[in-house]
Structure 1
């Protein structure tokens, strides 16, 4: 739903209007809320209950406002998600100047992204199919592009590398969270292990059998992320 006259709708909100136009106070009484306060309430709600809990009606109830009054701050949920994503991007620390070791810098960027997404587990889903163009996201992007300059890649290729990295981190964190949820159901995990063992023993899946019989590697989320990240970054072709 979009408030009458607001720059929203099926195409979403014009990012120039959202990010470059100052929030205009209404005539008459001083507004009881700010866009930042409403966004913060939505972030808190998503952190506690997940992204599906974030509706305009629910956020209005959290801040004690009428739902229609929220549309002057965020005309629809898509706009609210844009605001939320950029607000949590503000938590990223001020980037250090690039070290010149682009692989080390890129890995550091990935670790910052992962930590942010683990603090806000709804963020990977919110970023799916969405280009985050808010000021805090663009500051981080600027740092990443500068860190990649020593690769010698052209500007478009550097942007593609950063998009690839962000997609990897987002997908990996989503997998981490799913694994964490599955671990809360030990009976299901035990059933899956028995099933895989039976399949591997049938003689038709020798590759799977080799994997299951291989020495175990550290399976902590951090160690797994580090291995996958190293393969991705160390294997990047910059020629």
Structure 2
């Protein structure tokens, strides 16, 4: 019996064993006309075109030309479908060759791969905020990340935390980046903000801000900005003290 369709703002209780180790389709009855892969791909295409809010069981059913009730054999609700979608697109993340041994450089490469991936699927940061079910494609990438971090000497829990920290940073940055890009249609916004900050800095009550604004400018292209932020995050990771205590 299908559960009530999720709102997309939270994550329903999804049994990972049932989701990832099950058959992925109806267990009895007529031969299914569709597959989990087909339905998930249709949902991903819909989210890429119209955003995560557009993904409902009814819309996905229409995309594949099915009755909505037939989809519940593959995904009992939207939350389960979103788990499937996240892992589906994670299959696009080509696992790099064996780690080089320079874990900071390798970790930065992972960050750049994740950013490019999330920019291809702008709905992904929002989905990742509440859906971290480790499907087979995500597990393959996680396995590589843990191998990258082996030279750090961190224990397993800390390595998992570092990967989660990196992924959360990239997701947050991409969400901000795509929002700013969408606002680029208002060309006066940046100049308006600059004038406002200049006035605030000149009021004498914000000396730290005034000093910061006098500093030499840096390249503001999206790629350059992301690289600076990523470098600060990774270069600031401390692996010399308690292996379980990694700080930014």
- How far apart are the structure 1 equivalents of 2:236 and 2:48? 34
Aligned length, in residue pairs: 233
Q: After TM superposition, list the pairs within 5 Å mapping 1:90-129 onto structure 2.
A: 90-129=91-130
Residue 7 of structure 1: aligned partner = none
Residue 7 of structure 2: aligned partner = none
Superposition deviation, residue 193 in structure 1:
2.2
CA contact (8 A) 2:95 2:140 kept: no
Residue 195 of structure 1: aligned partner = 196
For residues 125-181 of structure 1, the C-alpha deviation after alignment (integer angstroms, 9 at most, x for no partner) is 000022131000011001100110000111111111111111111111111111111
CA RMSD of the aligned region, Å? 1.6
For residues 98-138 of structure 1, the C-alpha deviation after alignment (integer angstroms, 9 at most, x for no partner) is 11111111111111111110100000000002213100001
Residue 185 of structure 1: aligned partner = 186
CA contact (8 A) 1:200 1:208 kept: yes
For residues 173-211 of structure 1, the C-alpha deviation after alignment (integer angstroms, 9 at most, x for no partner) is 111111111222113333222222221221111222222
CA contact (8 A) 2:25 2:74 kept: no
The two structures have a TM-score, normalised by structure 1, of 0.92
Residue 48 of structure 2: aligned partner = 47
- How far apart are the structure 2 equivalents of 1:184 and 1:96? 40
Superposition deviation, residue 214 in structure 1:
2.2
CA contact (8 A) 1:103 1:234 kept: yes
Residue 210 of structure 2: aligned partner = 209
Residue 156 of structure 1: aligned partner = 157
CA contact (8 A) 2:177 2:222 kept: yes
CA contact (8 A) 2:107 2:234 kept: yes
Q: Where in structure 1 are there 5+ consecutive unaligned residues?
A: 5-9
- How far apart are the structure 1 equivalents of 2:134 and 2:89? 13
Residue 87 of structure 2: aligned partner = 86
- How far apart are the structure 1 equivalents of 2:133 and 2:123? 15
Q: Where in structure 2 are there 5+ consecutive unaligned residues?
A: 4-10, 241-248
For residues 27-63 of structure 1, the C-alpha deviation after alignment (integer angstroms, 9 at most, x for no partner) is 4443221111110011011111111111111111111
Higher mean C-alpha displacement, 115-124 vs 67-76 = 67-76
CA contact (8 A) 2:46 2:54 kept: yes
CA contact (8 A) 1:182 1:189 kept: no
Residue 243 of structure 2: aligned partner = none
Q: Secondary structure at the match of 2:105?
A: helix
